Amino acid sequence: MNDLQRLWILFRPYRLWMLLGTVLAVITLLANVMLMTASGWFLAAMATAGVTGIAMNYFAPAALVRGSAMVRTAGRYGERVINHEATFRLIASLRVWFYSHLEPLAPACLQQYHSGDLLSRIRADIDALDNLYVRVLVPVIVATISILLFTLFLFNFAPLLALSGLSFLLLAGVALPIWSQARGRAPGQRLTADESALRTAVIDGVQGMAELTVYGVTEQQAQRIDDLSRRMIADQARLSSDHGLTLAAVGVCASLSLWCLLLLAIPLVRSGELAPPHLAMLALFTLASFEAVAPLPQAFQLLGRSLAAARRLFEIVDTAPAVTEPLSASPQPRQFDLSFEHVTFSYPNAARPALIDISLHIPAGTRAAVIGATGSGKSTLFNLLLRFWTADAGAIRLGGHDLSAFRSDDLRRHIAVVSQHTHLFDATIRENLLLANPNASQTALENACRVAQIHEFIAELPEGYDTWVGETGVRLSGGQGRRIAVARALLKDAPILLLDEPTEGLDAATERDLMNALNQLMRGRTVLLITHRPAGLNWVDQVLVLDQGRMLAQDDSCALSVRNVFNAN
């Protein structure tokens, strides 16, 4: 199945809108041609009648002219309304469709993509598909129907006139678009890729402005952005130039078609086979008929860019998720103990396994810590628990049920996470907290923030819980952001708590305050703590020591000895 067929399937829910828009476009075009044709005949007939002194009924042709003008105006308005409505609905649907396919791939299958590239796909590439409907499908259908009707109309007067008109219509409506598509394919594909690269470069430059300034490489980044911009401008200039040439070529074809029609029709008028007013009518009809094919060269020029955008979307959609969801309903565990049973796991293309034969049991309501150097496999345990990845060997169980039996969303409802990389959205404190529990009351928010020792700080802010935190929480300190994450975990009220280096990068006082908050959060929950710092080890029941994915030690006495080592240091 090619890309166009796949897109047509995606367009299915909106085909009635598209059909109505196309019908209105055909009616509008025919009304415009009728207006020109009837006007030409009416004026010529009136002039002829005036010269010859013959009386004629001018009410019917005058009504036809006025009716055509009214239909053209109403049709144009209706076509714009319907096509824009169909386009907006289609684009909204495509964004939801794309995001629904994107979400199961996170984070495992999206690590190779830059956030700017993903943004470009979900915005610019989907917007490019707008061209496929409004500027490609509709013009092609309208032109096909119109050319057939126009040829039949001319054939009614003389087959030779129909053949002449059809030849030039095909030249402008088929040959020129084929040339335009061939010329526009490469620059269209480059524009799609360069637009994504430019957005990525700009995002990198803005987010990394401090580092670029410190190391004195802002000019290099600016030059990279400038190079991409120049390449895009060059391709856009080429497409614009080609578009201008094709418009001129369509005008030339219309003029040549008119001259050929006059050369063929004038002898017919002299011989009496064609009435004189018909000559003016056919002349204006010929010029007006090229309105049907005028959009086609640009339509086919845009086709290459639209198909390139579609391929970029399908590249993501066709990616197989790292985790396969079960077909049956998720089990309902009665207790929330965690067990790792001889778990082994390797990341794709990794030189060595991230975890090798790991076994760990955390009884419900107890706490375990995993320590080790960077790269020892600590975070991989979390990735497996959250079903971001699936273990290559062994089993992970929650409440006695294998994790593979849980649907990912159902599993994560039982788990709250406080990470060292707390993500706060560019929204208010309240909105960031409500992510965990959209129905939480103001009292619940304040109680959670009091436990996390952040309520007093929030209450002193001029806008309180409605304070905007900025992108990634830039208006808050690291400790404040972590404590908001603790409050968010409290609001979720999940029986299992995962703590991933929660005090990393914090000063001693902030670390102490945060751990006091975490200690309250951990009460009554099954806790797995990842750390390489002594903070929090006084409160765990067991410690697992990892080194390069292997388990070095694990038991209750190990927890005591590790705490003693940290305390001695």
What pLDDT, in 10s, does the model give residues 264-282? Answer: 999 999 998 898 889 999 9
Query: Average pLDDT for residues 39-63, to the nearest whole number?
Result: 79
Domain hosting 264: range is 7-317
Asked whether residue 308 falls in the same domain as residue 342, the answer is no
Least confident among 42-46, 92-96, 166-170: 42-46
Asked whether residue 281 falls in the same domain as residue 414, the answer is no
Asked whether residue 33 falls in the same domain as residue 131, the answer is yes
Domain presence at residue 328: no
Task: Please state, in angstroms and rounded to a whole number, the distance separating the CA atoms of residues 10 and 306.
Answer: 14
Asked whether residue 272 falls in the same domain as residue 351, the answer is no
Domain presence at residue 326: no
The CATH number given to whatever domain includes residue 175 is 1.20.1560.10
Rg (alpha carbons) of the chain, rounded to whole number: 35
Q: Which residues sit opposite 393 in a β-bridge? A: 344
Asked whether residue 298 falls in the same domain as residue 351, the answer is no
Asked whether residue 156 falls in the same domain as residue 252, the answer is yes
pLDDT at res. 556: 57
Asked whether residue 345 falls in the same domain as residue 213, the answer is no
Query: Average pLDDT for residues 156-181, to the nearest whole number?
Result: 93
Query: Average pLDDT for residues 317-325, to the nearest whole number?
Result: 86
Q: Which residues sit opposite 362 in a β-bridge? A: 338
Token reading at 296? 């086609």
Residue in 177, 138, 165, 163 with CA at minimum distance from that of residue 27:
138
Measured CA to CA in angstroms, residue 378 lies from 337, 361, 369 at distances of 19, 15, 10
Domain presence at residue 322: no
- Rounded (10°) angle between helices 276-289 and 138-155: 160
Domain boundary among the residues 266, 287, 317 is at 317
Q: Which residues sit opposite 341 in a β-bridge? A: 395
Q: What is the chain's mean pLDDT, rounded?
A: 87
CA 97 to chain centroid? 9
Task: Please state, in angstroms and rounded to a whole number, the distance separating the CA atoms of residues 486 and 480.
Answer: 10
Sheet of 355-362: strands edge to edge?
355-362, 338-345, 393-398, 401-402
Q: Which residues sit opposite 417 in a β-bridge? A: 498
Asked whether residue 184 falls in the same domain as residue 300, the answer is yes
Domain presence at residue 128: yes
Query: Average pLDDT for residues 227-249, to the nearest whole number?
Result: 93
Asked whether residue 409 falls in the same domain as residue 289, the answer is no
Least confident among 18-27, 117-126, 216-225: 117-126
Percent of the chain with pLDDT over 90: 40
pLDDT at 560 over 50: no
The residue assigned the tokens 């300034």 is 213
Task: Please state, in angstroms and rounded to a whole number, the distance separating the CA atoms of residues 27 and 476.
Answer: 59
Domain boundary among the residues 288, 317, 346 is at 317
Query: Average pLDDT for residues 520-529, to the nearest whole number?
Result: 85
SS3 state of residue 350: coil
Give yes or no for a contact between 487 and 432, defined as CB atoms under 8 angstroms apart.
no
> Which residues lie closer than 8 Å to 117 by C-beta, 6 or more apart?
196, 197, 199, 200
Kindly indicate the confidence band of residue 566, based on its pLDDT and cuts at 50, 70 and 90. Answer: very low
pLDDT at 437 over 70: yes
Task: Please state, in angstroms and rounded to a whole number, the distance separating the CA atoms of residues 184 and 236.
Answer: 10
Measured CA to CA in angstroms, residue 91 lies from 83, 248, 292, 475, 487 at distances of 12, 32, 26, 34, 37
Domain presence at residue 331: no
Q: Report strand pairing: 496-500 vs 355-362.
A: unpaired
Task: Please state, in angstroms and rounded to a whole number, the distance separating the CA atoms of residues 172 and 168.
Answer: 6
Query: Average pLDDT for residues 59-87, to the nearest whole number?
Result: 90
Give yes or no for a contact between 247 and 294, defined as CB atoms under 8 angstroms apart.
yes
Domain boundary among the residues 287, 317, 347 is at 317
Token reading at 138? 């509709």
The CATH number given to whatever domain includes residue 393 is 3.40.50.300
Give the number of domains in the chain: 2
pLDDT: which is higher, 499 or 171: 171
Asked whether residue 47 falls in the same domain as residue 170, the answer is yes
Token reading at 102? 């994107």
Chain segment 65-77, per-residue pLDDT in tens: 899 999 999 999 9
Q: Return the number of other C-beta atoms located less than 10 Å from residue 27's C-beta.
A: 18
SS3 state of residue 554: strand
Residue in 193, 90, 75, 99 with CA at minimum distance from that of residue 133:
90
Asked whether residue 453 falls in the same domain as residue 536, the answer is yes
Task: Please state, in angstroms and rounded to a whole number, the distance separating the CA atoms of residues 518 and 289.
Answer: 75
Give yes or no for a contact between 132 and 6, defined as CB atoms under 8 angstroms apart.
no
Query: Average pLDDT for residues 9-37, to the nearest whole number?
Result: 91
The residue assigned the tokens 């006091």 is 516
Domain presence at residue 192: yes
Query: Average pLDDT for residues 457-473, to the nearest whole number?
Result: 89
pLDDT at 513 over 80: no
Query: Average pLDDT for residues 450-469, to the nearest whole number?
Result: 89
Task: Please state, in angstroms and rounded to a whole number, the distance separating the CA atoms of residues 382 and 417.
Answer: 9
Domain presence at residue 146: yes
Q: Return the number of other C-beta atoms located less than 10 Å from residue 441's C-beta.
A: 9
Which 8-state DSSP code applies to residue 500? E
Domain presence at residue 311: yes
pLDDT at res. 558: 46
> What element of type H or E holds 565?
helix 556-568
Chain segment 181-194, per-residue pLDDT in tens: 898 888 988 888 88
Question: What's the number of CA atoms in the CB half-sphere (13 Å) around residue 89?
Answer: 15
Q: What is the number of helices (H) and of strands (E) in the chain? A: 20, 10
pLDDT at 55 over 80: no
Give yes or no for a contact between 566 and 371, defined as CB atoms under 8 angstroms apart.
no
Asked whether residue 342 falls in the same domain as residue 264, the answer is no
Question: What's the number of CA atoms in the CB half-sphere (13 Å) around residue 93?
Answer: 15
